[in-house]
Amino acid sequence: MSARKSIFVTGAGSGIGRATAQFFAAKGWFAGLYDINASGLDETAKDLPLGQFCKGVFDVRDRAGWAQAMNAFAEQSGNRLDVLFNNAGIGKYGWFEDITPEDSDAVIDINLKGVVNGVYAGLPLLRKTPNARIINTASAAGVFGSPQLAVYSATKFAVRGLTEALDVEFSRYGVRVVSLMPWFLETAILDMGGSAGANRNLRDQIHDTHAEVYPVSLAAQRAWDAAHGEDVHYMVGKEAERARFAARFFPNGLRNRMKKQIGAAQ
């Protein structure tokens, strides 16, 4: 087995996935870059040394695509997988009833089922790799129910629960399972809207409430921590830490504050 460590990254064509793949590659890791966006993958890979990455296009909802990508990755990584970074995700912003059932299905299928598919696909290789781990991208929206992000928030709660359960289950294999839980980051997801033709998006709400937005590089640094640390959940940004504290110790106050903000936005 090759001594060089390796990471398999979904959603590597932009945002957190791109920044994390580049960060780990800069540390000498072999990076597997995967996304549905081929041009985005090319952009991620352009500054990486030849021989230090592989890339492929597939949809995380596609189990056959997962199997093909994982087999190709294993051939080039020396048959090892130190970190599976289940990062691909989408969101829809808006009132629940304004988002179509089909769009909600897509959020659930990519954000939750895509992670489950990744665990199934990666586990055999992870079990062969000493001290391997899975990092699942959740969100601060997986700490408290986030209005106008209801289904997105539900998927991130589910990813958090899956992470906690599998970290216990897979301890019998010596595989850790942890999560990355970002606050708002400067990525394309801030531009997500809800219904077709909606004239407001998440970025507008953030602007109105003066919420903090963190650079995506911070998520990559925290992903590195998640690949090496002892915790289960890794918050990204001080606001994410504050949200976790408030949700645990002052849930009613947090809920009432959000209701006031929603009322002011109507």
Closest CA to 54 of 35, 136, 116: 35
- Residue from 34, 93, 152, 214 carrying the catalytic annotation: 152
Q: What is the 3-state secondary structure (H, E, C) of 95-148?
A: CHHHCCHHHHHHHHHHHHHHHHHHHHHHHHHHHHCCCCEEEEECCHHHCCCCCC
* 234 catalytically annotated: no
Q: What's the gap between Cα 186 and its chain centre? A: 14
Q: Distance between CA 233 and CA 221 in Å, rounded?
A: 14
Closest CA to 146 of 257, 245, 16: 257
Q: Distance between CA 158 and CA 50 in Å, rounded?
A: 37
Q: Distance between CA 45 and CA 228 in Å, rounded?
A: 24
Q: Largest alpha-carbon pair distance within the chain?
A: 59
Find where tokens 């909606």 sit: 198
Q: Distance between CA 40 and CA 265 in Å, rounded?
A: 35
Helix residue ranges per DSSP H, the chain: 15-26, 38-45, 63-77, 101-108, 114-128, 150-169, 202-209, 216-228, 238-249, 251-265
Q: Which residues are catalytic?
A: 152
